Structure 1
Amino acid sequence: MSDVHPLVERPPRSVVAVVGVLLVVAPLVLPSFQTYLLTEVLALALFATGFNLLYGYTGLLSFGHAMFFGTAGYTVGIFMRDVAPGLGLGGATPLVGFLIAGVLGVLVAVAVAVPVGYLSVRLEEIYFAMITLSFSMALYVLAIQNYLGLTNGSDGFSVILGTATLGGFDLALYDRVTYYYLTLLVVAPAMYLLWRIVRSPFGLVSEAIRENAERTGALGVGVRTHRWAAFVVSALFTGVAGVLIAPLHGSLSPGANLHWSISAEPVIITVFGGPYTFIGPTIGAFFFEYIRWGITQFPVLEAHWQLIFGTLILGIVLFAPRGVSGFVSWVVSRATGGESA
C-alpha cells in the first residue's frame, strides 16, 4: 500500500495555486529552450501519469505504451500533412485542423488499445509485459515498412504547425510560448480528470486488484474486465500525450515515436518519481528531463550520459524504492513529527 504522507499526496490548495501560477508565468520569464523543455515535461508528466494508472494503481507493467503514444502522434502528423490543407477554413485551418487531428489521434489510440488490451489482460506479470511489448514492436515494424506510403519509413516526416488567423489576430502555433500555453490548456484538465479517476471507486477497485486480485475477484469484481478498462483509459491519456509531443518535436519517425525504448520512458519516469502516488510521475518527469538536460551541459558527462543516468536510477531503486515522492514524503513526515499515511 502507499505510504505517502498526506501533505505530499494531497497538497494544500494554496500550494496547488502557487504551482499553477508559476506554470502560467514561467514562459514569460524563461529562455526559449527552457520553455520548450518545460512543455516536454508537461507532456511526459501526462504520459507517465496515464501509464501509472495501469502500473502503479492496477499493478500491470506494460512495455507497449509506445504504440498508443506513436499512433496518436502519427495520426496528427498524417492528418496535418494530407487532410488539413484541404479543409478550406481559411486562416483558421491550422488551429481547427490540429484540434480535429488531436481528437482523431486519441480515438485511434483507443481503437488500438481495445483489442490489444482485450488480449493482453488474459496474461499477468512478465507475460503481460512481454505481450504488450510484442504488439508494440509489431506496430513499429509496420511503420518502418511504410505500408500505404503513410509513414515514410525510417526517415519519418515533419510536423510543422502553421499560423492561424482568428478575428484578424495571428496565432503562431509553432511559437514555443504559444504551444506551451496550448499544451498547458490540455494537460491541466487531463491531469485533473486522471486525479478524479484514481480517487473514484474505479481507482479504488484498481488498487484492490493490485494488492490482491484473487480476493477482489471473490468479492464479485470482474478483475479481467476492470483491467481491460484500465488499459484502455491509460491508452487514452497516453494518446493525448502523443498528440502533444508530435508538433513539439516537429517530426515523426518510428525510432522516436514507436520504438520499445519510448515505452521504457514512462516506466523509468514513474519509478524515478514514485509509482504509488499520483504526483510521483509528474515529479519523475521533471527530474527526468532536467537531469538529462543538466548532463548535456558538461561534455565529459554527456559522453557517458547512459552510465550517469543509469547510476542515478540504480541509486533511486536501492535507496529510495518509492521514488523521489517517497523520499519527500519521508522528509515531510520527519519534519512534521508524524508518520506516513
Structure 2
Amino acid sequence: LTTVVLLVMPLLFQVLFAGRLAGFHISLLTETLIFAIFATAFNLLYGYTGLLSFGHAMFVAVAGYTAAKTFTVLGASLEVLGGLEPLGTWILAVILGIAIAGIFAVFIGYLAVQLEEIYFALITLSFSMAIYAMANQDVPGQIGAALGIGDGNFTNRSDGLTFIPGDVSLLGFEFSLVNLTNPLAYYFLTVFVFVISIYALWRIVKSPFGMICKAIRENPERARAVGVNVTYHQWMTFIISGLFTGLAGVMLVVLGGNVNPQDHAYWTASAAPVVMTVIGGPLSFVGPIVGAFSYEYIRWAISQFPLLEEYWEFSFGVLLLVVVLFFDNGVAGGIDRVRDRFLEDEDQTRIVEDADEETS
C-alpha cells in the first residue's frame, strides 16, 4: 500500500500544483525518502543497539565522493552501453559507494566499538571531522601528487565535485536520469531503492540478530552473561548501518549532482539523522521514517513564513522541544498512543453496549 501511495504521489502533485512547484515537491519528497533510509540505518545502531553515533555523515561523504568520481572518471568508459550509460554509471556508483562505505565502516567500527557510551559518540565524531578535514584540504589529492598520481586535485577542496548524470534512452523514451527542476525519473528510482532498503532493514531487526541487538541495548552486561559477544554484534551492526548509509549517500549526492565537505561531511550533516530519529521515535522501526518526513516538511513549512525562516533554527528548536517533552517515543509514539486510546474507547463502548443488551 505504501509503495502504491508513493508511486501516485507525482500525479497528485501535478493535480495540486503546477509547473515548477510540482517539480519542487517531487524533489522534496525524493530527498525525504533518501533521508528516511539514512535515519533508519542510523537507528539500527542507535535505537536497536544503543550506540549513539555523532559522525554517521562520514559514510555519506565517502560514498558520495565515490559516486562523483564514478560519474566524472569512470562514466566515459561505459559509452559502450549507449543510451543506458547514465543508468549503468549509476549502478556502478551505487556498488562502489556501498563498498567504500563498508570498508570505512569495518575499520572505523572496529575501533569505535571498543569504547562505550559518550566515548563511542566522540570517536565517531572525531573520525567524521577527520574525513571532513581531509576532503576540505584535499589530502588525497596531495598524497597522490606526491606519489606522482593525478594532478593534485581529487576532492576539489571546499567547492567539492559537481557532475551531471546525463540522459537515458530506454525503450524508445529519452529522459534525464536527474532533472533538477523535476526529478521524476529519479524519484521512481528512489522509491524502488527506498522500498528495498526499508524492507531489508525491517527483516534485519525482526531476525534473531535484531533480537540480540535489542538485548544489548537493554542490558549489555546481562547479554554478555548469557554468552553474547557484545562487541562483535555491535561491530556488525555498525558495518550494516554504514552500508545502508553509504547507499543513502550515493542517492543523495546523485540527486544534487554535487558533493562537498560542508554539506556531506561536516558534523551538522551527522546531526540530521539524530534529530530525525529523536523526532520520530528511536524505539519504533517506523520512527526514523516519520521523523524524516516531519523534519523535512516542518522545515519546508517554516520556510513559507519569512519571520520564522529568518530564525528557523529557533523555530525548529521549539518544535523539537515540544516533541521531546510531550511525546513519548517521538511522533511515532504519539501516533501509537492516540491509536491505543481510540481502540480503548472502542472497547469500552462495546462493553457498555453488550451490558445494555444483557440488561434488556
- TM-score by length of structure 2 reads 0.87
SS of residue matched to 2:55: coil
Which residue is 1:71 aligned to?
Answer: 62
Which residue is 1:83 aligned to?
Answer: 74
For 1:25 and 1:319, locate their aligned partners in 2 and report how far apart those are by CA, in whole Å.
34
Query: Residue type of the partner of 2:206?
Result: R
For 2:67 and 2:310, locate their aligned partners in 1 and report how far apart those are by CA, in whole Å.
34
For 1:100 and 1:319, locate their aligned partners in 2 and report how far apart those are by CA, in whole Å.
45
Q: CA deviation at 1:250?
A: 2.1
For 2:199 and 2:289, locate their aligned partners in 1 and report how far apart those are by CA, in whole Å.
13
Q: 1:256-301 CA distances to partner (integer Å, 9 max, x unpaired)?
A: 0111111110000000000001000000000100000011111011
Residue 52 in structure 1 maps to residue 43 in structure 2: yes
Query: Residue type of the partner of 1:127?
Result: Y
Matches within 5 A, 1:108-127: 108-127=100-119
Residue of structure 2 aligned with 1:136, choices 128, 138, 142: 128
Contact 2:65–2:161 (CA under 8 A) maintained in structure 1: no
Query: Residue type of the partner of 1:126?
Result: I
SS of residue matched to 2:169: strand
SS of residue matched to 1:83: helix
Q: CA deviation at 1:249?
A: 1.6
Query: Residue type of the partner of 2:108?
Result: V
Matches within 5 A, 1:209-220: 209-220=216-227
Matches within 5 A, 1:1-341: 17=1, 19-30=2-13, 31-89=22-80, 90-147=82-139, 148=141, 149-175=153-179, 176-337=183-344
Contact 1:273–1:281 (CA under 8 A) maintained in structure 2: yes
For 1:68 and 1:215, locate their aligned partners in 2 and report how far apart those are by CA, in whole Å.
31
For structure 2, list consecutive stretches of 5 or more residues without a partner in the other structure.
14-21, 142-152, 346-360
For 1:87 and 1:32, locate their aligned partners in 2 and report how far apart those are by CA, in whole Å.
30
Identity of aligned residues (%): 50
The structure having more radius of gyration, on CA atoms, is 2
For 2:178 and 2:35, locate their aligned partners in 1 and report how far apart those are by CA, in whole Å.
19
For 1:309 and 1:121, locate their aligned partners in 2 and report how far apart those are by CA, in whole Å.
32
SS of residue matched to 2:79: coil
Query: Residue type of the partner of 1:52?
Result: N
Contact 2:205–2:211 (CA under 8 A) maintained in structure 1: yes
Contact 1:159–1:252 (CA under 8 A) maintained in structure 2: no
How many residues matched? 321
Q: CA deviation at 1:321?
A: 4.0
For 1:222 and 1:64, locate their aligned partners in 2 and report how far apart those are by CA, in whole Å.
24
Q: 1:91-110 CA distances to partner (integer Å, 9 max, x unpaired)?
A: 22111011101110010000
Q: CA deviation at 1:164?
A: 1.5
Contact 1:209–1:223 (CA under 8 A) maintained in structure 2: yes
For 1:88 and 1:65, locate their aligned partners in 2 and report how far apart those are by CA, in whole Å.
34
Q: CA deviation at 1:129?
A: 0.1
Q: CA deviation at 1:167?
A: 4.1
Query: Residue type of the partner of 1:138?
Result: A
For 1:27 and 1:75, locate their aligned partners in 2 and report how far apart those are by CA, in whole Å.
30
For structure 1, list consecutive stretches of 5 or more residues without a partner in the other structure.
1-16
Query: Residue type of the partner of 1:79?
Result: T
Contact 1:84–1:93 (CA under 8 A) maintained in structure 2: yes
Greater alpha carbon shift after TM alignment, 155-164 vs 251-260: 155-164
Q: CA deviation at 1:29?
A: 2.6
For 2:23 and 2:158, locate their aligned partners in 1 and report how far apart those are by CA, in whole Å.
29
Contact 1:295–1:302 (CA under 8 A) maintained in structure 2: yes
Q: 1:31-86 CA distances to partner (integer Å, 9 max, x unpaired)?
A: 11000000011000000000000000000000111110111111001110111112
SS of residue matched to 1:123: coil
Q: 1:116-145 CA distances to partner (integer Å, 9 max, x unpaired)?
A: 000000101000000000001000000001
Q: CA deviation at 1:317?
A: 1.2
